[in-house]
Chains A and B, each alone.
Chain A
Amino acid sequence: MEDLAARRRRVLVDVDWLTDNLHDPALVLLEVDDRPALYHRGHVPGARLVDWAGDLQDPVRRDLPGPEAMKALWERLGITAGSTVVFYGDLNNWLAAYGYWLFTAFGLPDVRLLDGGRQQWITRGLPLTVDVPGPRERGGAPDPVLRQEMRAGRSDVVAAARGGHLVDVRTPQEYYGQWLSEPEFPGETAHRPGHIPGAVNIPWDLAVDLDGCLRPSEELAELYGAAGLVPEQPVTTYCRIGERSAHTWIVLHDLLGYRQVRNYDGSWTEWGSMTGMPIALGSDRGVMPVDFTG
């Protein structure tokens, strides 16, 4: 079994690795930001902007992009089966993590995350550029096939709430039902506040150190283990729109080796907006009603 250090080397790259590999033709460097305008004010040389709203979602339905759209995106970005795709972004890779999860879920073999994201690059005083790289040669993108075992639907969430582990990675205030969303991020919200009965609250950013990098793997293992999570048991993560929970998905599945982790991308905006859904309030986890099927 792959140990924690080997997993970390496979999943994360640091700024030193990135500076050494910036000119590697196999590298596809992608920036995903909550504030995409930051990219145009300065980005890591060679990085291409991926728009979370425009590129990583279906343009019409509330859904993931379909395989055809994903292949078109990969072609546009010059991704081939031999590419090393590195994501990074603002806010400790909040949305970059979603890109990582999505590309991985569609079967891309070598996807990595710049540990610390924009923050690390800027804090180290490394150069930014406003030059947008030209188009890459198209052709050779693999066929995306969605690995459904990485994604949770409502019935998976109900099953996790009853017989597995359901992790709400939002802020405690959102979990308790005091906030519909973080006041600084009012964009996407739901009709009702609270949490899914049975969910434990482990905010995603507990996994991030003050310098923006992920905490050491041993500390992460302790963090989630202390909450009762076990690598051998299935875990489902959710947040508000599935991006913060993608960050925790990476930590659990790829860094710590939890075998079966699903990201509920519908998350609270789906659960808290539908009629008749069970909701728990306050710090108590609550219990999923026995007759509820999702």
Chain B
Amino acid sequence: MREGLDQLESLLKTLDTGGAAGPRQRPERYYQLLVDVYERGRHGPDADSFAALGRNRGYDARGLGGFFVGARAPLRRIEGQVTLTVEGHRLLDAHLTGPVR
């Protein structure tokens, strides 16, 4: 029983962090989009601006939707504006303090 729960929890964590493409395997554009959102300041971009930022990084609407899904989603919408979550800030910091590419 305990073993089964551990396996289930492990699977949920994997799904929550992007499935097979775990945190270390996210593409550069994923982090760049988080930087783009951060660079839009305290209020973040509105939906249209966010969609444009996403397009510039090669994301379609469905791909962008994935940034808002899950307990560890990096982005959230507040009154129509898109901003980083706590997890988004964590990923941003990990990216910014990594090697400059």
Contacts and interface: CB of A to CB of B under 8 A. Distances in A.
A210 B82 CA distance: 11
B75 interface: no
A122 B85 CA distance: 22
B38 A210 contact: no
A249 interface: no
Nearest to B88: A184
A184 B42 contact: no
Given A35-B93, A41-B96, A90-B38, A210 B43 contact: yes
Interface residues of B, number: 18
A208 interface: yes
B89 interface: yes
Interface string A177-210: 0000001110000000000000000000100101
B92 to A, nearest CB: 7
Contact of A38 (B42, B43, B89, B96): B96
A37 B97 contact: yes
Contacts of B33: none
Nearest to A130: B100
A91 interface: yes
Interface residues of A, number: 23
A243 to B, nearest CB: 13
B41 A40 contact: no
A210 B86 contact: no
B47 to A, nearest CB: 12
Interface in A28-50: 35, 37-38, 40-41
Contacts of B42: 91-92, 94, 205, 208, 212
A123 B41 CA distance: 10
A117 interface: yes
A118 B35 CA distance: 12
Interface of B: 35, 38-43, 46, 81, 84-86, 89, 92-93, 96-97, 100
